[in-house]
Chains A and B, each alone.
Chain A
Amino acid sequence: MSWHAADAALDTYSRGDCGGAQAVSIEAHLMNCHECRCRVARLADRPHLDEVWRKIAGELDAPVPGLVERGLLRVGVSDHVARLLAATPSLRLSWFLAVGVALAFAVAAAHADPRGILLFLVGAPMIPLAGVAAAYGPRVDPTFEIGLAAPMRSFRLLLIRSAAVLVSSATFAAIAAFFLPDLNVAVVAWLLPSLALSSSSLALSTRMPPLAAAATIGVVWVVAVGLIAFEARDAIVPFGAPMQLASLVVAGASMWTLSHTRESFEQKGAA
């Protein structure tokens, strides 16, 4: 190499202040000029350079994420949220398989007997409810204790996971609904109750452990629908307009409660 870059140009380059075209030109020269590479190395901000190398090493050593995480990244979920979700018990392959089997059973029951539709309509909202209960808490999350001592708010983690579980479970139930014998109101009648059950369970989680909250809501739901269906001697009647309206009110009230009691949820974690 017969020529060398000017001191001023290398100085500007090492500070990261030179424009794109000049930077490309200097880099092309540096590839072939040992002397200029040495001059740049002397000018470089050492701590910054070390930090860059550390980041490169961290990226190279990071293992390839698992199946669920890769899927989440592909649909645009940010990498840190994807990792939080990948650790959710109710977002694992085994959970999805269990949900699939339960829904297939409910659909089969609806085909076997006209009253079997009740099993589907009672069960479908309970899938997201169970998923939300299994998303976070001392009994289901092995890292619960470590999480409590970390600065990320428990309530935020619960909401992120619950939203993901709610969406995935509802998607499964929606797909199953299209396999019901009659494509009538039953196809969507479980949706609002799903939202009501999950949100009321979350609201109750500010007062008691998430599993206990979900169990309480689940029992109340089964008994209430069972009683109405028994009185009406019909599987669809319990899911009529009054139930849909009540679900909407319960969901709204639960969300309002959640937004006003989230601080007590944080305190409960350290109680």
Chain B
Amino acid sequence: MSPSVVVDNVEQQFGTTRALDGVTFDANVGVTGLLGPNGAGKTTLLRVLATVLKPDRGRVVISGLDATKTGQRLEIRRRLGYMPQEPGFHRNFTAFEFIDFVAILKEMTERQTRHAEVMRVLELTGLASVAGKKIKALSGGMRRRVALAQSLLGDPEILVLDEPTAGLDPEQRLRFREVISSFGETKAVLLSTHQTEDVAALCHHVIVLHQGSTLFEGTPRDLADVAAGRVWLSDDRPRDVRMSWRTAEGRHRNVGEPPPGADTIAPTIEDGYLLLLGVDALGEAA
């Protein structure tokens, strides 16, 4: 079976900044996570996948259709749901009206079928009870759910989500994970995140981007294995270590090159990410 999404040597330049520099990967049914620090090119890549941006060079094939060709791009849009990083809303619309508006943009013009579909996605995201509430009266978390709901309209084959869990409280994040993972059982979901926990909880496939290039591609286990044998516990803070912090148990958890005889432990995705990106990852991996 051919992959749902093929990204082949994609380049994107904004002025003198090279946002994407030969990014290449395939994605299939399941959840693919894009991990990387700010400015790594995650949002640019997702905008290219959502057909909002046309890449300067390279090829993007979605469900067998070429995203760089105008006619095929429209067909891709019929099969794709997109949640931007900072979704805008018509704040005087109710949640129902806003999603109904996006449904019209998605060519659902028959009123009854459209309204039924709007209610379906509102229920799917737990928003049915606030369907009649104005967007401006909803909390930030609720608005993100509205943004997710609109992306689910029409049961798309491919879902492109730009930092869907950013700014959510733990309970809301869990609800999001539930919806996204259930969607990933039958569809291809591509999401960007700063949260390594999201990757561990949701993704079967991880791509780490750095300065517009693919730094890593593999499973979450592979990413953790980057730090295999390079994470250890010690009673004191060692010198010349990539990163070290005191744990709740009072010992130091260290990431870097361990001394001989160190008490090494199983690495996490976060450890692998830290080692891959070095100092650039600081403050990004949660």
Contacts and interface: CB of A to CB of B under 8 A. Distances in A.
B87 interface: yes
B208 to A, nearest CB: 25
Interface string A50-93: 01001101110111011000000000001110011011000000
A149 B77 contact: yes
Max count, chain B CB within 10 A of own CB: residue among A59, A65, A66, A145? A145
A145 B77 CA distance: 13
Contact of B89 (A63, A142, A151): A142
B70 A63 contact: no
Interface stretch (A31-39, A127-135, A178-186, A262-270): A262-270
B270 interface: no
Given A58-B115, A63-B94, A270-B53, A146 B102 contact: yes
Contacts of A78: 109
A145 B105 contact: no
Contacts of B70: 263, 266-267
B143 to A, nearest CB: 12
A152 B113 CA distance: 17
Interface in A225-271: 263, 266-267, 269-271
A59 B87 CA distance: 26
Given A146-B84, A149-B77, A84 B51 contact: no
Contacts of A55: 112-113, 115-116
A143 interface: yes
Interface string B69-111: 0100111011010101001111111101100111011110101
Contact of A267 (B54, B78, B117, B132): B54
A145 B87 contact: yes
B23 to A, nearest CB: 18
A172 interface: no
Nearest to B93: A87
A83 B104 contact: yes
B120 interface: yes
Max count, chain A CB within 10 A of own CB: residue among B73, B105, B116? B105
Contact of B74 (A65, A79, A87, A151): A151
Contacts of B50: 148-149
B168 interface: no
Contact of B111 (A63, A79, A145, A157): A79
Nearest to B90: A87
B105 A146 contact: yes
A143 B51 CA distance: 15
A270 B112 CA distance: 31
A143 B101 contact: yes
10 contacts: A55-B115, A80-B109, A86-B93, A87-B93, A141-B88, A146-B84, A151-B75, A151-B78, A151-B105, A270-B51
Interface of A: 51, 54-55, 57-59, 61-63, 65-66, 78-80, 83-84, 86-87, 141-153, 157, 263, 266-267, 269-271
